[in-house]
Structure 1
Amino acid sequence: MRYSLLLAALSLALPLQAAQLSIELADGTQTLETAQLLNHPDVQEVRIANDVSYKHPMTYRAVPIARLLTGVQPDAHLQIIATDGFAAEMPAAPLLQKDGAQAWLAIEDPTHPWPGLGNGSHTAGPFYLVWTHPEASRISPEQWPYAIGRIRLQTSVAERFPKLMPDPQLAANDPVNLGFALFQKNCLACHRLNDAGDSQLGPDLNLPHSPTEYFAPGYLKRYLRDPQSLRHWPQAKMPAISPEVLSDEELEQIISYLQHMAQRRGR
């Protein structure tokens, strides 16, 4: 125990190293070093009033992420992958827009590291997607991936993972389909379903069972609103989902999707 604590303390004392960001677009793969990004012609100081990860105002050296996505069209789909297995599915349009909510790639300078997150074991670096005026486009917390290592152009979630698809006979405005859209935005970055998805972080939400099958009525919604109120442990990573992120109606739509997919296990 003492030896492991000593190693952890030594690792925190070591200086941060420069990192690499891989960007895979239609015209090939580009690898950018920390120094290149810190000296990018469009880099500037950006103040984030309500930082999702740090829970207080932060100031970063950052580049508009649109400047790194040359040739990407608004109707495209991107995936942003973190070093811990978090895989955010992102429509390109919000990342490219210049008005309202604007996306920035924050770059951690190894000589001036950011504060530690949570227990202080690591920072949000080396690269972190942050937003100014996120409320203008209802940017969710899952759209603030940190510890980014890779950004890649992808086909849509439905094309890549047909096992996630609801019954095609359902109307587009059916609560199940609305829940599927919300699931992609708010859940798929951490979870797989029917063994489909790219995240390596959280458990599968339909294999071997759906949470709609083992939570008593009403408790799944309570768990999503405040996970620690039902399962309390210090290392828990599941965040609370506030009404500002998902309304009660939207939360019910996600639950409708999960209930529906419990009947489509293995299809």
Structure 2
Amino acid sequence: MLKALLFLAVALLAAFPACAGEALSVTFGDDTRSLTAEELLKRPDAATIEIADDVSYHKAMRYRAVPLVALIGKEAAERFETLEVRAADGFVSQIPMQLVAGAAQGGSVAWVAIEPPGEPWPPLPGKDASAGPFYVVWQNPERSKVGTELWPYQTVAISGMQSPAQRWPQIAVDDGLAADAPARRGQAVFVTQCMPCHRMKGGGAADIGPDLGAPMNPTQYLTPQGLRALIRNPKSVRTWPQQQMPGFTEKALSDSDLDAVIAYLGHMAAH
């Protein structure tokens, strides 16, 4: 009886491998496609790419990948301002379409890396799973100043959207604020670097971290020094077993961008 059950289990595993059923959902308006790793790897534009300094693995990596701009298509690229890229753990990147399209003018090039079925990538540092089966990566990220939070791994869905400020007006700074005001720049930094995990006054799509605008803004209960320390090295301020927030080094978030984010948070607390 035991041998029969083991045989059945092996047969089922052979018929339904671990990667079966895993697909990348791509949505633009009413058009939704579900693409498996096998389908993507068979595309004529699939290529082997080198990533010199992978943000998630912290080393050079090689992948089979498809150009992100090719999955979007010209019509969708012109129609939508933002790519919302959702990961399996609730992390949600808001990638400006302009950033992706900038590859044609010599900017950074975005790819969807595909983990080949039966050939798993190594586990991510400190985790027991890889970045697959789908992972948005960038070649030459320095050319377009691509932030570290625009590398969503374990990607499950890519959707065309309006800009975050249009979708969630409550995250926008005052219209009367000067174009060069630090808080206005901070809004842009917040969208790319903070919104993948946090919301602002209910605006946003992520559920990993706390809302940074409601019921209280962090500038209302943290000193400027404490807030800076929290962003640079969260564990230097407070720790707990399920802590997930990584620290932002100066390479990931410059001092001027950090100043802008804090100015934005302060502005939102007052409005």
User: Structures share a fold, TM > 0.5?
Assistant: yes
**Residues paired across the two proteins, number:** 251
- Among 59, 63, 66, the alignment partner of 1:60 is 63
Q: Does the 8 Å CA contact 2:136/2:151 hold for their aligned counterparts? A: yes
Task: Report the equivalent of 1:126.
Answer: 133
Give 3-state SS (helix, strand or coil) of 2:77's partner.
coil
User: Per-residue displacement from partner, 1:57-86 (whole Å, max 9, x unpaired)?
Assistant: 111111111111112336722111111111
Task: Report the equivalent of 1:240.
Answer: 247
- Among 48, 73, 76, the alignment partner of 1:72 is 76
Q: Does the 8 Å CA contact 2:38/2:117 hold for their aligned counterparts? A: no
- Among 231, 246, 264, the alignment partner of 1:257 is 264
Task: Report the equivalent of 2:205.
Answer: 198
CA drift of 1:94 comes to: 2.1
The reply on whether 1:17 has 2:19 as its aligned counterpart is: yes
Paired AA for residue 37 in structure 1: L
Runs of 4 or more consecutive aligned structure 1 residues displaced over 6 Å after TM superposition: none
- Among 7, 30, 47, the alignment partner of 2:33 is 30
Task: Report the equivalent of 1:158.
Answer: 165
With over 3 angstroms needed to count, the CA separation of the structure-2 counterparts of 1:126 and 1:262, relative to structure 1, is same
CA drift of 1:245 comes to: 2.5
Task: Report the equivalent of 2:6.
Answer: none
CA drift of 1:235 comes to: 4.0
Q: Does the 8 Å CA contact 1:77/1:91 hold for their aligned counterparts? A: yes
Task: Report the equivalent of 1:47.
Answer: 50
CA drift of 1:16 comes to: 3.5
Paired AA for residue 216 in structure 2: H
Q: Which runs of 5+ in 2 are unaligned?
A: 1-15
Alpha-carbon distance in structure 2 between the residues aligned to 1:218 and 1:102: 36
The reply on whether 1:184 has 2:191 as its aligned counterpart is: yes
Paired AA for residue 64 in structure 1: P
Task: Report the equivalent of 1:95.
Answer: 100
CA drift of 1:166 comes to: 1.6
With over 3 angstroms needed to count, the CA separation of the structure-2 counterparts of 1:214 and 1:160, relative to structure 1, is same
Alpha-carbon distance in structure 1 between the residues aligned to 2:123 and 2:240: 20
Alpha-carbon distance in structure 1 between the residues aligned to 2:159 and 2:225: 38
Q: Does the 8 Å CA contact 2:26/2:33 hold for their aligned counterparts? A: yes
Superposed counterparts of 1:204-223, under 5 Å: 204-223=211-230
Max radius of gyration: which structure?
2
User: Per-residue displacement from partner, 1:189-234 (whole Å, max 9, x unpaired)?
Assistant: 1100111111111111122211111112311112111112222445
Q: Which runs of 5+ in 1 are unaligned?
A: 1-13
CA drift of 1:30 comes to: 1.4
Structure (1 or 2) with the greater helix fraction: 2
Q: Does the 8 Å CA contact 1:16/1:113 hold for their aligned counterparts? A: no
Alpha-carbon distance in structure 1 between the residues aligned to 2:224 and 2:163: 33
With over 3 angstroms needed to count, the CA separation of the structure-2 counterparts of 1:235 and 1:49, relative to structure 1, is farther
Q: Bigger CA drift: 60-69 or 20-29?
A: 20-29
Give 3-state SS (helix, strand or coil) of 1:105's partner.
strand
**TM-score, with structure 1 as normaliser:** 0.88
